[in-house]
Chains A and B, each alone.
Chain A
Amino acid sequence: MRHAPLLVALTLAAARAQAGDPGPLPTTFTNMTPDAESTPASRACVADLAARLAGAYTEVRKLGETPLREKAGMTAGQPFLSWPVEALDKVRRQPEARDGAVALVLVDCRPQARRLDVRVLPKAGGSFRIQSRGVPLKSRTLDWVFTGLLHHLHDGHEP
């Protein structure tokens, strides 16, 4: 069970290799944890998810929260889960990228409060969110979150 996300990622990578590889999925990744809630544990949690992404055939490009907000035109304080997709589309659309877009992954992880919010915009459009409340943010929880994240992350990046 613990290896399920890895197996999914490897299966995905193998299928791509066979079918004419478009290369790793360019993915913009932003740590949305508020500064006041940032702790070594929260940074480790965010780094864990970024590392899992990097192992799932993506090319992770980190973007700070401030430049993300500027690009999306969203003011500080407004929760990112409530940002309209149209605002984040300004970040997702990147003319220089293959197909003119990248995937976005935004993470707010607060292990001390047992709280995790993830917002994902696949390159092809749409959006999904994954939230965890009250559950210890240990490896098993991050396994669950990451498996959910893979359900649609690569949409629009098939060969």
Chain B
Amino acid sequence: MKTCLAPILATAVCALTGAAHAADAPALHMAVLSTGEPLPSEAKALTRVEQALARPGKGRRFTVTRGPATADEQRLAAAYLGPVPPASPPPLPGDWSGRAAVLVLELRPPTSAGDARLSGGLGAVLVFHPPAPEPTLVYVPDGLPGVSLSRAWSEAVGPWLVQALALTPEAP
């Protein structure tokens, strides 16, 4: 009887504690900058990033939301996406308060090959930890093609984005 109950109890305890941890997990928002609706391959890659950030594991676990960048988020990102970083950090969007982290991802415009539309790949990456006004991590390419999300996912891009959120700011 004991041996039968043990796995059931363990499962129930894990489910309950898992739910509690999920409720406690800090809020992370993924703001996606793109010229239109992401292509299916891009949406799939973004979902995998989202799932990896929400999954308990070696990295930090978040309660993740995702959406297209708002006008405020686009304005903020534009300040960092130029070839030169801004002299002083622009204000953060008001609705970022309460979020532990915000991951801004730029998708490059898709290209066409015959009838097919191909992903332009990943462009810039910005990681913010509100209320700190400056992004903690910045990756901004200038005059370079996007990094392929599908081909390179398992090699570097996906784990690289997840790894970025494991790096948290500390006072010097």
Contacts and interface: CB of A to CB of B under 8 A. Distances in A.
Interface of A: 1, 4, 7-8, 11, 81-82, 84-85, 112-114, 122, 125-136, 140-141, 143-144, 147-148, 150-152, 155
B137 A85 contact: no
B132 interface: yes
B34 interface: no
Contacts of B58: 1
Nearest to B133: A133
Given A126-B143, A128-B142, 18 more contacts: A1-B58, A7-B155, A84-B83, A85-B143, A126-B144, A127-B143, A128-B139, A129-B140, A130-B140, A131-B85, A133-B136, A133-B169, A134-B129, A134-B170, A143-B163, A144-B164, A147-B163, A150-B156
Contact of B155 (A8, A122, A131, A143): A8
B166 interface: yes
B135 A85 contact: no
Interface string B128-172: 010010111111111110010000000110011011101111111
A4 B169 contact: no
Instruction: Decide if the interface of chain A is mainly helix, strand, loop or mixed.
Output: mixed
A1 B159 contact: yes
Contacts of B141: 126-128, 151-152
Contacts of B136: 132-135
Contact of A4 (B163, B167, B171): B163
A152 B84 contact: no
A66 B83 CA distance: 23
Contacts of B129: 134
Contact of B168 (A7, A112, A135): A135
